[in-house]
Chains A and B, each alone.
Chain A
């Protein structure tokens, strides 16, 4: 017997295996970042003073990074749409752009870290910076994880494009759901909470 519902949906649950799997995984990710956010609230409410992100962090660079991530998310959508059209060259192009955006994000992020270090602001300086470095660090590791998956799909993994297009398209979709989630984390959580609040 082979494992069923790898690509097609199981009628009574309305899912195929990997789609259900990725949503469950994201649920656990929400608990991870939820715990970090709760820690943020608890530490901030019990602190006597709290530095403002606007003065300690570099908002222009972070805004640039926000745009980079939004754009990479759009690129992943186009990459997925190209698999639906069966157009390999177009898939390569859009997935390549998404990869470059992800790399760009990491480069900008390391410049930001560097600028903090130059101004002698380290994780140990105060609790705000401890949270900043920890949360953005964990997020950057998620970006790296996404980059590894996406570059696999872009590189060796795209052999499957020719062999089993619907399965491949499904893989791109799953990777895309994860990538959107990581982008959203930045967009609606880390960026506003750390830089703007």
Chain B
């Protein structure tokens, strides 16, 4: 095995806290974002109690939240709204994006292209600390008078403009998060363009790197409009401008101090111009992770890799012209609505191509069913359900029925929860040996995987059923006070109990993580999975500067079982 030489004798705080090494920053992102993901999940568990047993006191811990949130252990509607808004915001902006891009992208991309670090290490550090600050601002907003933001992760005006001070904190937090993403995006694009090792031509890039490249462009170009919108909403809130406000608004009998002339739809356009590309930010890197793991475990080349690369590029472009499919109900007229319906149907084509290539790749492979592979395999049908349930939402007429129902919640959670989060788990199990030199425990991995898979479906499939029955999202009582929801109301308990069991299953993952760090089986080679990409050419763990010798790339990323080759894998870094 190779040995990393850590000749840089930096003090502790420079090495682990204000570090400029992409691997440390990647781990910082990873640890912080997993904690946020867990927090967002816990918020949702509180909400799921209320949805399943509306008005009943939460046993045991209900009293911890104080009289102004949960008097007598019963959740107040205001608190439900805060938790809902923060669940969405935290999961998307503080959990998933920092994990797929900040953590996995940072750690793996420079390794996979044969680079010593990111192109701008100091910028990389700034980007992490900006993210961290944004997260602290968001969490601290719970302690403001009136609590945190409560207008949903979409923050639609006019309600968001007249909401308590927590919404201002939300905006400020978002500005930090946007800044962090912009710095990161510039860094990733420059790194991938400039720091590829010699011989690493575009078509030899691993698919994960392609996914990160397209993602970085989406972040770079989609986030600034949200930043503009956030500043305008801040102006509306603080200086009483009327960017988004109508004239003569009266709330609880009080005249609001707005001269009017603004447009609520303007916010929606600016928000979804970001937020549609954002959903691709949540999924493309996940596809990248899954492709790496599938290629490694089928022991044969990925079928149609080139068409996957072209698809992901097309997907990136198209994702900028579909945003108004979130707004079919805003009276936009048939011409504009047709445009967005057509582009939305078009964008499903490249996604289907990618998924199909991955499915076909499985055919005839001698598949190794290790834990990372199980998660990667589960990703395929789960993302498939998420994608297919999205098609009716992309067409205006079914969307009239489905808009703002639990069907939408079910649809996108299939994409991000059993989709992206399974890819994240797969990635952790897969790259853990490179980072720590030890493999994670397989048995605990199975205990984690199977209950998670079952529970995910028990949580999210019933949402589709409830939504088809017309149950609205963002209901504090889960629909209990609506006649049309009665036949599907029992599903609320099914979903909540499944969510609690799923929470319990995550304990196996957490235990596994810590146990394996110290007691896991040591790897005996730098390339324990017999993989082909460059990250496995580094010492374990990689030291400062990553590679002991400059690398040279000789072939494509997934050359497994090449006829006539001595082994069943031909690494990119071996002649």
A8-64 contacts to B, CB under 8 A, are 10, 13, 15-18, 20-21, 24-25, 27-29, 31-36, 39, 42-43, 46-47
A134–B235 CB distance below 8 A: yes
Which stretch of A81-89, A106-114, A117-125 is in the interface?
A117-125
A17–B190 CB distance below 8 A: yes
Q: Within 8 Å CB of B190, what residues of A?
A: 17, 20-21, 24
Q: Within 8 Å CB of A24, what residues of B?
A: 185-186, 189-190, 220
B253-304 contacts to A, CB under 8 A, are 257-259, 261-263, 266, 269-270, 273
Q: Is B228 an interface residue (CB 8 A)?
A: yes
Minimal beta-carbon separation of B195 from chain A (angstroms):
7
Given A126-B261, A130-B243, CB of A32 within 8 Å of CB of B116: no
Q: Within 8 Å CB of A43, what residues of B?
A: 243, 261-263, 266
Q: Within 8 Å CB of B194, what residues of A?
A: 4-5, 10, 13, 15-17, 20
A126–B259 CB distance below 8 A: yes
Minimal beta-carbon separation of A174 from chain B (angstroms):
12
Q: Within 8 Å CB of B116, what residues of A?
A: 1-3
Main secondary structure of the interface of B (DSSP, over half): helix
Q: Within 8 Å CB of A125, what residues of B?
A: 259
Cα A28 to Cα B187 with chains together (Å): 13
Minimal beta-carbon separation of B373 from chain A (angstroms):
32
B527-563 contacts to A, CB under 8 A, are 545-547, 550
Query: Which range holds the interface residue count of chain A?
Result: 35 or more
Q: Within 8 Å CB of A42, what residues of B?
A: 263, 266, 269
Cα A27 to Cα B189 with chains together (Å): 13
The one of B189, B228, B241, B261 in contact with A35, judged by C-beta atoms closer than 8 angstroms, is B228
Q: Within 8 Å CB of B187, what residues of A?
A: 21
Main secondary structure of the interface of A (DSSP, over half): helix
A39–B228 CB distance below 8 A: yes
B119–A17 CB distance below 8 A: yes
A134–B232 CB distance below 8 A: yes
Cα A34 to Cα B266 with chains together (Å): 14
Closest chain B residue, CB of each to CB of A49: B261
Cα A28 to Cα B182 with chains together (Å): 8
Q: Is B359 an interface residue (CB 8 A)?
A: no
B241–A123 CB distance below 8 A: yes
Q: Within 8 Å CB of A122, what residues of B?
A: 239
Minimal beta-carbon separation of B314 from chain A (angstroms):
20
Given A3-B117, A35-B270, A36-B228, CB of A20 within 8 Å of CB of B262: no
A-B contact count (CB 8 A): 124
Minimal beta-carbon separation of A123 from chain B (angstroms):
5
A130–B242 CB distance below 8 A: yes
Given A1-B116, A3-B119, A25-B186, CB of A32 within 8 Å of CB of B224: yes
Q: Within 8 Å CB of A27, what residues of B?
A: 220-221
Q: Is A127 an interface residue (CB 8 A)?
A: yes
Q: Within 8 Å CB of A10, what residues of B?
A: 193-194
Interface size on B, residues (CB 8 A): 46
Q: Is A138 an interface residue (CB 8 A)?
A: yes
Cα A117 to Cα B197 with chains together (Å): 58
Given A43-B243, A127-B243, A134-B235, CB of A32 within 8 Å of CB of B225: yes
A28–B241 CB distance below 8 A: no
The one of B222, B224, B266, B545 in contact with A39, judged by C-beta atoms closer than 8 angstroms, is B266
The one of B115, B120, B263 in contact with A21, judged by C-beta atoms closer than 8 angstroms, is B120
Q: Within 8 Å CB of A123, what residues of B?
A: 235, 239-241
A124–B239 CB distance below 8 A: yes
Closest chain B residue, CB of each to CB of A129: B241
Q: Is B426 an interface residue (CB 8 A)?
A: no
Q: Within 8 Å CB of B232, what residues of A?
A: 39, 134
B195-229 contacts to A, CB under 8 A, are 195, 220-225, 227-229
B262–A15 CB distance below 8 A: no
Minimal beta-carbon separation of B327 from chain A (angstroms):
14
Q: Within 8 Å CB of A46, what residues of B?
A: 263
A116-171 contacts to B, CB under 8 A, are 122-127, 130, 133-134, 138
B186–A130 CB distance below 8 A: no
Q: Within 8 Å CB of A29, what residues of B?
A: 224
Cα A24 to Cα B220 with chains together (Å): 8
Closest chain B residue, CB of each to CB of A2: B116
Cα A133 to Cα B224 with chains together (Å): 19
Cα A4 to Cα B464 with chains together (Å): 51
Closest chain B residue, CB of each to CB of A10: B194
A69-110 contacts to B, CB under 8 A, are none
A138–B242 CB distance below 8 A: no
Q: Within 8 Å CB of B182, what residues of A?
A: 25, 28
The one of B220, B273, B545 in contact with A28, judged by C-beta atoms closer than 8 angstroms, is B220
B: residues with CB less than 8 A from A are 115-117, 119-121, 182, 185-187, 189-190, 193-195, 220-225, 227-229, 231-232, 235, 239-243, 257-259, 261-263, 266, 269-270, 273, 545-547, 550
List the 4 shortest-distance A-B pairs measured between CB atoms, nearest first. A130-B241, A35-B225, A32-B224, A1-B116
13 pairs, A vs B, C-beta closer than 8 Å? A3-B119, A15-B193, A16-B194, A17-B194, A20-B189, A20-B190, A24-B220, A43-B243, A43-B262, A43-B263, A127-B259, A130-B241, A133-B239
With A10-B194, A123-B241 already in contact, 9 other A-B pairs whose C-beta atoms are closer than 8 Å = A1-B547, A3-B117, A3-B119, A15-B193, A20-B193, A31-B225, A43-B243, A127-B262, A134-B232
